[in-house]
Structure 1
Amino acid sequence: MAMSLADLLLPLFLLVFLTRSRSQCPTNPSAIVNDTQVLLSLRDRLGIKVWNETANPRAWRGVEWSSDNQVEGLALSRFNLSGVFPATWAELPSLARLDLSQNGLSSLEVPCKNTQLNLLNLSSNSLQEFPGNLSSLESLESLDLSGNFLTVAGLPKFSLTLRSLNLSINNLTGSFSIGGNLGLEALELSHNGLSGSIPETFGEMTNLTRLDISYNRFRGDLPDIWSKNLELRYMRISKNSLQGGLPPSLRRLRKLSELRAAYNCLSGPLELEDGDFASIEVLNLGLNGFSGTIPATLGGLRNLKILDLRGNRFSGAIPGELSKLSHLQLLVLTGNRFSGAIPPELGNCSNIRGIRLDSNYLTGTIPGELSKLSHLQQLVLSSNDIGGELPSGLSNCTVLVVLWLGKNKFSGNLPESFGDLSRLLILELSSNDLVGSIPAMLQNMSALQFLILENNRFSGSIPDWLPRLTNLRAMDFSVNRFSGEMPESIGRLFANVQLYNKSKRHMMIQTGGLVYNGFAFPTFIDFSFNQLTGSIPAAIGDLYKLQVLDLRHNQLTGPIPESLGKARNLSKVWLAGNRLNGSIPSSVVDLSFLTIFDVSNNSLVGRIPDSPQLSPMDAALFAGNQLCGLPLTNTCSSTAMLPHKLRTEGQGGSEQDQTEVITLVSVAIFVAAFFNAFFWTYFAANHRAHSHAGNQISSSSTMLLPSFLPSSS
């Protein structure tokens, strides 16, 4: 094949360039020429446009050079590569790292000759088979094939030098055998379809430090094979169907610092002896079937930072010995059967950041000792039987992000001192017995996003300072005793929030190692089931980012404001059970996201606006008014008043004329109804053998209150 002019001139150019370049000071100019030729060959085969031969090769993106001008690494992640990666890369004699992750490669050519490669990353590509000749990579220590479409359960032969193997997120199925690869230090097989029992060969990997086989279908008892794995430090076996308890050989691994065995079928009591899990820092046994009490020996795990026992059947009291865990940062006992009081000794866990004791049978009060926890960011005690007044001392926990106390028996007033919690994102106090007004000090909660006070006995007016909570995205004041008129200032809410979008991933907020998900949530106002009076303020139309509005079952009067149509992102509107009058404003047709518009049981009149959103809705949403038009079955007469097209003096004639028209229409309707009834009576009398009742229209509608659901992740 004839050489191009660029191929002939490139070596000369590089020699001249490197000789005159004072910034690079190369010690081996011939090496850079040879390696550059190899790179150009790869470029032409793969279509890598960012490698320009007129530029300094040492500046090419993704190429890592050594001090003696040899390529020692190729970081080609996200280079939009596809097809087969050619074996030309093996002609780079010093290449030690080859990262081809996050491309569209279907295969990798591996030469039969030995290379110096010790890291190969082919994750997130389109491989359906293992690359051939992997055993020839005699220096390979780390191999990542995760996120492909590999389907063969049996592994090819690897070099004994391999230390880390990642085969997670593939389509591997069936039983799994690792063969004689006993030199492995890290093995990841998560997110496949592997089944059967855990292979006995795992117990023979004496150098293994990390094992991740979570998100498979391994079943059966957790084998007692771990006595030889003296180097094992990280073990993840979550999301399988493993049974039995924790075998003694596993508990006695003295270097094991992380054990995640959630989402299995492990059962029985949690047995721990002195000396078990000597180095454990993360113990996650959540969502299994463990029962009995928590052993006091848990307090001896002095290195423990995370204890997650959620979703089991533990019972009895929470042992005060947990206070001995001086390094504990996160305690999760959600969804068990614990009873008794919260141990005040937890106040001695000075490093704790999160306490989740929700969905148990706890009683008593919140211990004042918890107010000493200066690092506490998450306190979740919902769905228990805890009572008494809310301790004002919780304001000393100034870094609190989540305070979730709903569905308990708390009473008394909301402490004004809570206004000092300037970092709080969530204040959830629903379904308690709290009374009084909302303290004005709460306007100092500058970070607050969710204010949930539903189902208490709060009273007074809706505060006009709510817009000062500039990050607020949801408020639920429903089922209380709030009275008075809604303030005009309500139109300034939600100025700083992002709109909820189902197509986007859930927003994640990480604070001090704690991650809160479920923040992809619609902006909403729920003032339903109170005693509010007056009219709906026109400022409601200024809430461009409002998505859910619930004002049902109050004592609101006046018309639905025409400005409602300006709140273009509204998807659900509940106004039922008030005293609203007038007609439905024509601007409602501008609410293109509308899925629910409940105005039932008011005093509305006239024609329902023709709208592709309103017409398919349940007719029950408009019942209990004097409305006509779809989705109702009664059609509008020619004299039915159009929405907000009120007759003026010049248009409608005198009051006497209007009265006469109404009288004539009423007489006509009566006469038509009489003849209709007479006809059907006559028809039924003469055709009893074929009589049929008229269509009976019955409709019901189940209204779903906007709900705020806790995350147990």
Structure 2
Amino acid sequence: MSVTDLLLPLFLLVFPTRSRSQCPTNPSPIVNDTQVLFSLRDRLGIKVWNETANPRAWRGVEWSSDNRVEGLALARFNLSGVLPAIWDELPSLARLDLSQNGISSLEVTGCKNTQLNLLNLSSNSLREFPGNISSLQSLESLDLSANFLSMAGVPKFSSTLRSLNLSINNLTASVSIGGNLGLEVLDLSHNGLSGSIPETFGEMTNLTRLDISYNRFSGDLPDIWSKNLELRYLDISNNSLQGGLPPSLRRLRKLADLSAGYNSLSGPLELEDGDFASIETLHLWQNLFNGTIPVKVGSLRNLRLLVLTGNRFSGAIPPELGNCSNIRQILLDSNDLTGTIPGELSKLSHLQQLVLNYNDIGGELPSGLSNCTELVHLSLKRNKFSGNIPDSFGNLSRLRYLSLYSNDLVGSIPASYGKMSSLIYLSVSSNNLSGEVPAMLQNVSTLQFLFLSNSGFSGFVPDWLPRLTNLREMDFSYNRLSGEMPASIGRLFANVQLYHKSKLLLLDIKMLGLVYSSFACPTSINFSSNQLTGSIPTAIGDLYNLQLLDLSHNQLTGPIPESLGKARNLSKVWLAGNRLNGSIPSSVADLSFLTTFDVSNNSLVGRIPDSPQLSSMDAALFAGNQLSGLPLTNTCSSTATLPHRPRRDGQGGSEHDQRDVTTLVSVAIFMAAFLSNERTVAPGTLGSGAREGFGSAGAGDPGAKAPTSSLPSLPEGVPLLRPSFSRFFSTPSFLNSLFNLFLD
């Protein structure tokens, strides 16, 4: 053996070689965390770290007491491309947030970092599961949501992994979770997963939260839940699951939140003693459940939210529901319920929202509901309630939303309603009320939406309306109002903010029923189909913030005032079916937002002003006059007459559709703005297909069921980062959190 052969092992021992693929050893005092940060700054191009030479003051860097980097919060740092294995260079790193960047892949060496326990890679551009990431031995929480992952299987992680989020990706096959049975939180929502719910979910005995909503799981809901003794939250909504709720699911004693909406679950809702012992939230909206609401629901003493919207429940509301003393929200709309509102509900002192729309519930409205002093949202539209509007409701000082639309109520609005100090939205449209528009409403300074259409009101247009300084929508159509319009109308909307589709607006959703304030919808005046006389007041031009105006089908005379052109934000104007004369004022050409200008069936003469807006409209909007010019094809006159809109008994402008009002909704509240054409409607928002007033008068069958079409899509001009985000913002848990935010 040569001397070289003898010395080589010794040389390797003293001077070890190290390839680039090998894991780094613990850094020497010279190669410390500070030097690593300087290197990362240069390699990743992190400009915000150039603001100071001291890395201990750099944004997003968390230092330990012994001057080691233990956390990096690099969200929204404009990182892109391939990211180096940061955790290999910082051995004390325990938390790494790389969310909301443009990272396409990771450089993972396979080293077994023993410190990193939280890794957030959400909202990046990953298309493949990062290789060898499962080798991180201490990893407890991994978030890969909102990427472009399409793998069907999830690698097996160390038993330390407790939380795994793969929501909002492109997973398409029935996912295989492998042997990750130590998971406590698993989120696979908003993907394209299909087939049956995997049996492995039933073997994850440590699960406390499972979300597989917004996928394509189908078949009967499996009876696999008997081992999930720790499960507290289960969201299986928006799939195509069938059958009923299996006994093993109902008997999970720790289950607090069950969301199973938008499936095809059917049959009676069966409950036995001991079922859902800890349930707080029960979301079963938009399924096919039938039969009666079980009496046993009254034994769910922890229940806070009950949503049975959009099923086929029949019979009466069980009086036993009054035993749920902790309940906050009850949504039973769009079913086939009959009978009356049980007096026992008056015992629910914590009740904040009661929605019974689109049923066949009748009888008189129980005055005892005024005992529910926490009520914020009361919606009883499209039922068969009769008798007078209870005077006692005026004592509900926290009430913000009250809809009694389309019932058989008589009498008048009680004077006590002038004391409602929080009321934002009031609709008594399509009832059999009488008398003048009650003057006490001028005291409700918080009112923003006032809908009194088709309710039998008579008298003059109130001159006190400008005192409602927060008012932005009013509908008095299909009544018997007479006389001239007061000049005071020119003082409306002086302080409101405008809504334009071209802008990204923040809306202020006020409750789960999507009542909002601020500039969530256009400012509007609707006095159509009354008996108004005289001329249109010149003060109409002072309504700079007015966007929709409907004075059609009255007996108005005289010319269209030249001042109308000063109301520069007008987008839709209806003046059809009056006795207006003279020419269309040239100032109308200055209304740059104008998309509808209906002056049909009047006595107007002359040439239509030249403007791109007017010339592009339907010629029918100018018919029945002696007009010429574009968009008419004739050169001198237009004598065709359009049919007059008849008044229909029991019909008027349909109630202000909360869904249309939710155009951007909101961020908060809205993010409902990010609702795209998914098949989802928030509980309590199922409404008529048309908005109350404009273009919808007389439309719809008062007895019809609520349609199940989707919420409106995002207005034009508003970009979306990822279409899949729209699905998240429509989840029941998100909407419920908005409601709770409002209440706080």
Q: What interval of TM-score do these two structures reach, taking the shorter chain for normalisation?
A: 0.7 to 0.9
Matched, 1:536 2:484: no
1:521-561 deviation per Cα after TM superposition (whole angstroms, max 9, x unaligned): 22111000111111111111111221111001111111100
Q: Percent same amino acid at aligned positions?
A: 71
Shift in Å, 1:697:
9.1
Letter in 2 for 1:193: G
Q: Distance in 1 between matches of 2:363 and 2:521?
A: 33
1:176-218 deviation per Cα after TM superposition (whole angstroms, max 9, x unaligned): 1111100000000011000000000000000000000000000
Q: Distance in 2 between matches of 1:48 and 1:591?
A: 48
The residue number in structure 2 matching 1:414 is 413
Q: Call closer, same or farther: CA 1:232–1:277 in 2, change over 3 Å.
A: same
Matched, 1:710 2:658: yes
The answer to whether the Cα contact below 8 Å between 1:548 and 1:573 also exists between their aligned partners in 2 is yes
Q: Distance in 2 between matches of 1:47 and 1:578?
A: 68
Q: Distance in 1 between matches of 2:78 and 2:593?
A: 38
The answer to whether the Cα contact below 8 Å between 2:242 and 2:266 also exists between their aligned partners in 1 is yes
- 3-state SS in 2 of match to 1:51: helix
5+ residue gaps in structure 2? 1-26, 647-651, 660-680, 683-744
The residue number in structure 2 matching 1:624 is 624
The answer to whether the Cα contact below 8 Å between 2:378 and 2:403 also exists between their aligned partners in 1 is yes
Q: Call closer, same or farther: CA 1:575–1:699 in 2, change over 3 Å.
A: closer
Name whichever of 138-147 and 84-93 sits farther off.
84-93
Shift in Å, 1:628:
1.9
The residue number in structure 2 matching 1:457 is 456
The answer to whether the Cα contact below 8 Å between 1:305 and 1:328 also exists between their aligned partners in 2 is yes
Shift in Å, 1:52:
3.1
Letter in 1 for 2:280: E
How is 1:127-142 mapped onto 2 (pairs within 5 angstroms)?
127-142=126-141
Q: Distance in 2 between matches of 1:437 and 1:321?
A: 41
Letter in 2 for 1:62: G
Name whichever of 212-221 and 512-521 sits farther off.
512-521
Matched, 1:260 2:208: no
The answer to whether the Cα contact below 8 Å between 2:52 and 2:58 also exists between their aligned partners in 1 is no
The residue number in structure 2 matching 1:62 is 60
Matched, 1:79 2:77: yes
1:614-666 deviation per Cα after TM superposition (whole angstroms, max 9, x unaligned): 223222222222222222233149xx9xxxxxxxxxxxxxxxxxxxxxxxxxx
Shift in Å, 1:495:
2.0
Matched, 1:99 2:47: no
- 3-state SS in 2 of match to 1:78: coil
Q: Call closer, same or farther: CA 1:368–1:30 in 2, change over 3 Å.
A: farther
- 3-state SS in 1 of match to 2:50: coil
Letter in 1 for 2:597: F
Q: Which has the larger radius of gyration?
A: 1
The answer to whether the Cα contact below 8 Å between 1:505 and 1:520 also exists between their aligned partners in 2 is no
Q: Distance in 2 between matches of 1:492 and 1:170?
A: 51
Q: Distance in 1 between matches of 2:556 and 2:507?
A: 38
Name whichever of 29-38 and 115-124 sits farther off.
29-38
Letter in 2 for 1:36: T
Letter in 2 for 1:257: A
Q: Distance in 2 between matches of 1:557 and 1:612?
A: 28
How is 1:505-520 mapped onto 2 (pairs within 5 angstroms)?
508-511=507-510, 515-516=514-515, 520=520
Letter in 2 for 1:242: L
- 3-state SS in 2 of match to 1:238: coil
The answer to whether the Cα contact below 8 Å between 1:87 and 1:108 also exists between their aligned partners in 2 is yes
Q: Call closer, same or farther: CA 1:514–1:631 in 2, change over 3 Å.
A: closer
The residue number in structure 2 matching 1:375 is 374
RMSD over aligned Cα atoms: 2.3
- 3-state SS in 2 of match to 1:581: strand
Higher relative contact order (CA 8 A, sep 6+): 2
- 3-state SS in 2 of match to 1:497: coil
The residue number in structure 2 matching 1:569 is 569
Shift in Å, 1:308:
0.1
Q: Distance in 2 between matches of 1:705 and 1:566?
A: 28
Q: Call closer, same or farther: CA 1:522–1:444 in 2, change over 3 Å.
A: same
Count of aligned positions: 628
Q: Distance in 1 between matches of 2:267 and 2:504?
A: 38
The residue number in structure 2 matching 1:607 is 607
Shift in Å, 1:710:
3.2
1:655-710 deviation per Cα after TM superposition (whole angstroms, max 9, x unaligned): xxxxxxxxxxxxxxxxxxxxxxxxxxxxxxxxxxxxxxxxx999899999796213
Letter in 2 for 1:524: S
The answer to whether the Cα contact below 8 Å between 2:401 and 2:515 also exists between their aligned partners in 1 is no
- 3-state SS in 2 of match to 1:613: helix
The residue number in structure 2 matching 1:49 is 47
Q: Distance in 1 between matches of 2:73 and 2:632?
A: 65
Letter in 2 for 1:377: V
How is 1:657-696 mapped onto 2 (pairs within 5 angstroms)?
none
Q: Call closer, same or farther: CA 1:510–1:303 in 2, change over 3 Å.
A: farther
Q: Distance in 1 between matches of 2:635 and 2:621?
A: 17
How is 1:29-428 mapped onto 2 (pairs within 5 angstroms)?
34-52=32-50, 54-115=52-113, 116-428=115-427
Shift in Å, 1:362:
0.4
1:423-469 deviation per Cα after TM superposition (whole angstroms, max 9, x unaligned): 11110111101111122221121221110011111011111111111
Q: Call closer, same or farther: CA 1:706–1:309 in 2, change over 3 Å.
A: closer
1:320-362 deviation per Cα after TM superposition (whole angstroms, max 9, x unaligned): 1000001100000010000011111111010010000000000
Shift in Å, 1:395:
1.1
The residue number in structure 2 matching 1:582 is 582
- 3-state SS in 2 of match to 1:379: strand
The answer to whether the Cα contact below 8 Å between 2:290 and 2:314 also exists between their aligned partners in 1 is yes
TM-score relative to the length of structure 2: 0.81
Shift in Å, 1:511:
4.4
- 3-state SS in 1 of match to 2:521: coil
1:77-117 deviation per Cα after TM superposition (whole angstroms, max 9, x unaligned): 11111111111442212111000001111112223222110
TM-score relative to the length of structure 1: 0.85
Shift in Å, 1:597:
1.1
Shift in Å, 1:54:
4.7
Q: Call closer, same or farther: CA 1:435–1:109 in 2, change over 3 Å.
A: same
Letter in 2 for 1:614: L
The answer to whether the Cα contact below 8 Å between 1:335 and 1:359 also exists between their aligned partners in 2 is yes
Q: Call closer, same or farther: CA 1:706–1:228 in 2, change over 3 Å.
A: closer
Q: Call closer, same or farther: CA 1:199–1:525 in 2, change over 3 Å.
A: same
The answer to whether the Cα contact below 8 Å between 1:545 and 1:567 also exists between their aligned partners in 2 is yes
Q: Distance in 2 between matches of 1:705 and 1:373?
A: 30
- 3-state SS in 2 of match to 1:326: coil
Q: Call closer, same or farther: CA 1:435–1:505 in 2, change over 3 Å.
A: farther
Name whichever of 443-452 and 185-194 sits farther off.
443-452
Q: Call closer, same or farther: CA 1:358–1:158 in 2, change over 3 Å.
A: same
Q: Distance in 1 between matches of 2:349 and 2:628?
A: 65
The residue number in structure 2 matching 1:555 is 555
- 3-state SS in 2 of match to 1:193: coil
Name whichever of 45-54 and 132-141 sits farther off.
45-54
The answer to whether the Cα contact below 8 Å between 1:329 and 1:354 also exists between their aligned partners in 2 is yes
The answer to whether the Cα contact below 8 Å between 1:507 and 1:517 also exists between their aligned partners in 2 is no
The answer to whether the Cα contact below 8 Å between 2:601 and 2:642 also exists between their aligned partners in 1 is no
- 3-state SS in 1 of match to 2:104: strand
5+ residue gaps in structure 1? 1-28, 641-695
Name whichever of 613-622 and 585-594 sits farther off.
613-622
Name whichever of 140-149 and 513-522 sits farther off.
513-522
The residue number in structure 1 matching 2:706 is none
Q: Call closer, same or farther: CA 1:444–1:517 in 2, change over 3 Å.
A: closer
Shift in Å, 1:606:
1.3
The answer to whether the Cα contact below 8 Å between 1:38 and 1:88 also exists between their aligned partners in 2 is no
Q: Call closer, same or farther: CA 1:277–1:607 in 2, change over 3 Å.
A: same
Matched, 1:489 2:488: yes
Q: Distance in 1 between matches of 2:595 and 2:653?
A: 14
Q: Distance in 2 between matches of 1:511 and 1:443?
A: 22
Q: Distance in 2 between matches of 1:699 and 1:387?
A: 37
